[in-house]
Amino acid sequence: MAKKKSGKSEWIDWLKALLIAAIIAIIVRTFIFTPIVVDGPSMQPNLQDGDHMLVNKLNYKLNEPERFDIVVFHATEQKDYIKRVIGLPGETVHIQNDILYIDGKAVAEPFLAEQKAMLQEGQKYTQDFSIEQLPGDDTVVPDDHILVLGDNRNDSTDSRSFDIGFISYDQLVGNASVIYWPLDRIGFVDE
């Protein structure tokens, strides 16, 4: 016959379990995942204002960003931004007539195909742009930096903006690829 635990012993077991759970949650939040809420229209139509996402903070401690990753970075001391990686270190980047060119070669942006297909003749989804238009004398993306753009190219504060420019690896919080709220949008984001 099993002995019944005393009320005090049971409370201590519950407190231990809660303490362990809290420590695990703090470790996961600090070092592995953190939530972010998309604020504004700059990543539409792929991300919507108010989407809740998980940011993998560990990925860029182990790997470098890849083209078309959706990254979260410290834009200011108070504000984090979410954008898409377009240019990697050492690359030339320009957009002309709605075509992305990396090192002079056209690169498809499948995440924008539907929006570009809806444009009327003569309209551009992305205004022509090149690295030379950014502040500084860079002709390529600097070492340990990336060039980021919002998916909603005409309504995005991104690398084309004077106060953003290139994003250093030190500014990166992590990459976001999972939407967990609202329920009808749960899933992985297409890259």
Per-residue pLDDT tens over the stretch 174-189: 999 889 888 888 888 8
First to last CA, the chain: 59
Which single residue is written with the structure tokens 């379990």?
17
Mean residue pLDDT across the chain: 86
Catalytic annotation present for 6: no
Which has the minimum average pLDDT: 60-74, 142-156, 175-189? 175-189
For the chain, the structural domain boundaries read 34-188
- The catalytic residue among 42, 57, 156, 159 is 42
Summary count for the chain: helices (H), strands (E): 3, 12
Query: What is the tens place of the pLDDT at every residue in 78-100?
Result: 889 999 999 999 999 999 998 99
Q: Which two tokens stand for residue 75?
A: 């834009």
CB count within 10 Å of CB 113 equals: 9
Residue matched to tokens 């809806």: 118
pLDDT interval class at 29 (50, 70, 90): low
Q: Which of 57, 83, 156, 159 is catalytic?
A: 83
Among 2.10.109.10, 1.10.357.10, 3.90.1150.10, 1.10.150.20, what is the CATH number of 34-188?
2.10.109.10
The answer to whether residue 8 scores a pLDDT higher than 80 is no
Tokens of 105: 């070669």
Q: Per-residue pLDDT for 117 more than 60?
A: yes
Sequence-distant contacts of 77-80: CB under 8 A, at least 24 apart: 80/36, 80/173
Residues 6 or more apart whose CB falls under 8 angstroms from that of 134 comprise 159, 160, 165, 166
Decide if pLDDT at 2 tops 60: no
Share of the chain above pLDDT 90, in %: 41
Residue 67: both structure tokens together: 């083209």
CB atoms within 10 A of CB 59: 18
Q: At residue 32, does pLDDT exceed 80?
A: no
Confidence of residue 9 (pLDDT cuts 50, 70, 90): confident
Burial of 83 (0-12, 13-18, 19+ CB in 10 A): buried
User: Mean pLDDT across the stretch 53-70?
Assistant: 91
Whether 83 is catalytic is: yes
Asked if residue 30 has pLDDT above 70, the reply is no
pTM above 0.85, yes or no: no
Model confidence at 148: pLDDT above 70: yes
